[in-house]
Structures are given as structure tokens and as C-alpha cells.
Amino acid sequence: MRLTRFAFILAIVAVVGSFLAGGARAQQPDATPGPVATNPPLPSPKPTAEDPKIHKLAVQQFLAWQSGSVNRDLYSDRVNADMTDEVMDKGTKTLANLGGLQQVQFRGVSAAKGASFYVYKMVCENGAIQMDFAMDPDGKIALIFFE
């Protein structure tokens, strides 16, 4: 499951990178661009009826990430191992920059590599971001991406 750890970290880094890139200075003409981290693509979500419990969890977790008050008990051990202080700090700062949550749009469920991802679009005062997450059989969050 090292791939899932890597994908989780890439997701957080990609989000942080996309926000930082907007305010970055132009590169020098002789500078060679470095590799770009990308998340493994998820198939387009299939529309389905939204589960109110999943909706509530999505909103709670988005707000928890924005405020830096993530309850690690809700996450699998694998995800917790990847949620370093640096990852948490960057994720919180990035999501907080979006401003207050205005609207939550459930886009459907996407299946990839045996996991079902709940796909949400979180619309905030200063922008929008897609939030994808999967649950493990024990009811804990097994993966979470903000893109």
C-alpha cells in the first residue's frame, strides 16, 4: 500500500503547489523545469444517491482540515502515518486560503483499484476544490485527496 501513501502525499503537495505557483515569480530563461507531481487520475464519478452520513462526514472533514483540527481517530493507520505535521500544516494553510465554505456539491462515486471514492466539489469564498475520499471496511477514512 505504499502507492496509496505516495498518492496521498502527492495530493497534498499538488494542492499546495498549485496555490503557490499562482504567486511565484517567473523562472529565469535558462532555468530547466523540474518534474511535476500529479495524482493518479480517478475515473469520472458516476452519479448516485448521496448518503446523508457521507455528506456530513465530507463537510466535517473539510472544515476540520481548514481549521487544522483533524480528528486522527477517523483516519486509517496508513493515512495517519502520512499525516506529518508538515503535511497537515500545508494542507490547512492551503484550504484556509479558500475562505469560508459556501456550497457542497456531491458529484458521485468513482471506483478505482477496488476502492470507492466519494467525490465532492467544495465551493468557498475564494475558490473551489475537489475533495475525494474513500472509506475502509472499518468505517475509517482510507484515502483523502484535495485537488
| Residue range 31-48, pLDDT digits in tens | 433 333 445 677 888 999
In the chain, % of residues over pLDDT 70:
73
C-alpha cell at 90: 500545508
Q: Averaged over 104-116, what is the pLDDT?
A: 91
Q: Quick check: is 51 in a domain?
A: yes
Q: Quick check: is 30 in a domain?
A: no
State how many domains the chain has: 1
Global pTM reads 0.73
Q: Quick check: is 83 in a domain?
A: yes
Q: Quick check: is 34 in a domain?
A: no
Q: What is the domain range of residue 97? A: 2-24+39-146
Q: Quick check: is 29 in a domain?
A: no
Task: Report the chain's mean pLDDT, rounded to a whole number.
Answer: 79
Grid cell 472499518 — which residue?
138
Residue 115 sits in a domain of what CATH number?
3.10.450.590
Q: Quick check: is 120 in a domain?
A: yes
Grid cell 530547466 — which residue?
32
Q: Quick check: is 132 in a domain?
A: yes
C-alpha cell at 43: 475515473
The set of residues, in sequence order, having a beta carbon less than 8 Å from that of 99 and lying 6+ positions away, is: 124, 125, 126, 127
CA distances from 66 to 46, 53, 116 (A): 27, 20, 24
Distance CA 92, CA 76 (A): 19
Q: Quick check: is 94 in a domain?
A: yes
